[in-house]
Structure 1
Amino acid sequence: MSPPSGASSLQVHAVRFGPGQELLGSLQAFVEEAGLKAPFIITCVGSVTKATLRLAKATATNPNEILHLSGHYEIVSLVGTLNPDAHLHVCLADGEGQTVGGHVMGGLEIFTTAEVVIGEATQLQFRREMDERTGFPELEVQKR
């Protein structure tokens, strides 16, 4: 299915979350409170002490390739959409500069800060529908 055609307007929101907050849940609460319909991550910097990631080798029939991290990690990238079933990927760097990344399952406990810029396509709406080809709920883009 091709995405809806037409120009889309952009609205920008900035938010900071602090020590001990869980990033995914905090982002979802912000999106819900603000009533955003087509939100996505523009940029994020910060640090975490914990993370739960699904690795790329996980599939719909074998979703158990989960990595639980504990330690100090810098958020070097956070990308994705924040509709009710958020789909985020993160790349984290440890104290040696080694990186690890994957699908955010939750458990992103903020160490010092998470400074996030969120965009919203104001003429669109994001939702997720189960895609039988992939076995996962996939993004559906609709005009408002």
Structure 2
Amino acid sequence: MAHPKFESSNLRVHCVRLEPGMEIKSSLLSYAKENNLQAPFIMTCVGSVTKATIRYAAQPTADSTVDLNEKMEICSLVGTLGAGGHLHIVLGREDGSTISGHAIGNLEVFTTAEIVVGECTDLVFNRTFDSRTGFDELDIQKRT
């Protein structure tokens, strides 16, 4: 089933720095709510964490998570923040290897998290249950 294509020609950019001990996902969701961002997404992020809870791809349930407790660099953080958010993260370990997955939460900042958030100012991001995937998926609407 094809979904309608939405184009946005209006972009607003927000720059956020999270400090040591702050939790990244909840902080970003709070920032989006406090600033009434209706179609926010992550443009870029650098920083580090001391712990993270992630879910690897194709796990049997949404509860199949892994808790990481180590100092890691944020190599990538991508996704949308509307309606509870959907974020994926790549973390670099001390030995140079990486680990990645769906960012569930518990992403505690170690030194900093420098994040640039974009917002399509003429759209709204919601999440709607998709019976084919079993998850709430992105539902894009024109802002009225």
* TM class, shorter-length: over 0.9
Structure 2 length as normaliser, TM-score? 0.94
CA distance in 1, matches of 2:29, 2:6: 27
Amino-acid identity (%): 51
Paired with 2:63 and 2:26, the residues of 1 have a C-alpha distance of: 21
Match in the other structure for 2:38: 37
Contact 1:9–1:123 under 8 Å retained in 2 = yes
- Which consecutive unaligned segments of at least 5 residues does structure 1 have? none
Q: Which residue of 1 aligns with 2:83?
A: 84
Counterpart of 1:84 in 2: which secondary structure?
helix
Residue 142 (structure 2) pairs with residue 143 (structure 1): yes
Aligned 8 A contact 1:4 1:143 in 2? no
Correspondences of 1:1-144 after superposition (within 5 Å): 1-59=2-60, 62-144=61-143
Aligned amino acid, residue 17 of structure 2: R
Deviates more, 1:1-10 or 1:71-80: 1-10
Q: CA deviation at 1:114?
A: 0.3
User: 1:55 and 1:92 mapped to 2: Cα distance?
Assistant: 13
Task: Give TM-score, length-normalised by structure 1.
Answer: 0.94
Q: C-alpha distance in 1, partners of 2:65/2:6?
A: 37
Change (3 A) 1:8 1:2: farther
Could you tell me how far 1:66 is from its partner in structure 2?
A: 1.1
- Contact residue 41 and residue 81 of structure 1 kept, 8 A: yes
> Gaps (5+ residues) in structure 2?
none
Alignment length, in residue pairs?
142
Q: Per the alignment, do residues 121 and 98 of structure 1 end up closer, same or farther by CA in structure 2, a change over 3 Å counting?
A: same
CA RMSD of aligned residues (A): 1.2
SS of equivalent residue, structure 1 residue 14: strand
What is the alpha-carbon distance in structure 2 between the residues aligned to residue 140 and residue 7 of structure 1? 15
CA drift at 1:34: 0.7
| CA offsets 1:31-77 (integer angstroms, 9 cap, x no match) | 01110000000000000000000110214xx2333111011000000
